Amino acid sequence: MVLHEVDNPDKFLLNCFEVLNPSGRVVVIDWQKMNTGSMGPPVEHRLDKESVLRMTKSKFIDHPIHKWLYFLEFMKDG
């Protein structure tokens, strides 16, 4: 739940995939870009799920977790 804190999230994700085993997975769990009251970081600091999907361009599974969060599991081979 910290991808939104990384200075270059697209480069960070690319590096994750470069060092990943062929059958490995990258998991991103982070805050939806929506108001959640006092829970989580400010909305303007958050990355929306669609932006993360554009950064990876990999096959993924979208796991329902909570309306305030997204849980994306990316596969290296895809």
| Tens of each residue's pLDDT in the chain, 78 residues | 999 999 999 999 999 999 999 889 999 999 999 999 999 999 999 999 999 999 998 899 999 999 999 999 999 875
In this prediction, residue 78 carries a pLDDT of 52
Q: Which residues contact 23 (CB under 8 A, 6 or more apart)?
A: 76, 77
pTM, entire model: 0.90
**Cα–Cα distance measured from residue 65 to residue 30, given in angstroms and rounded to the nearest whole number:** 10
Domains annotated for the chain, with CATH where assigned, are 3-75 (3.40.50.150)
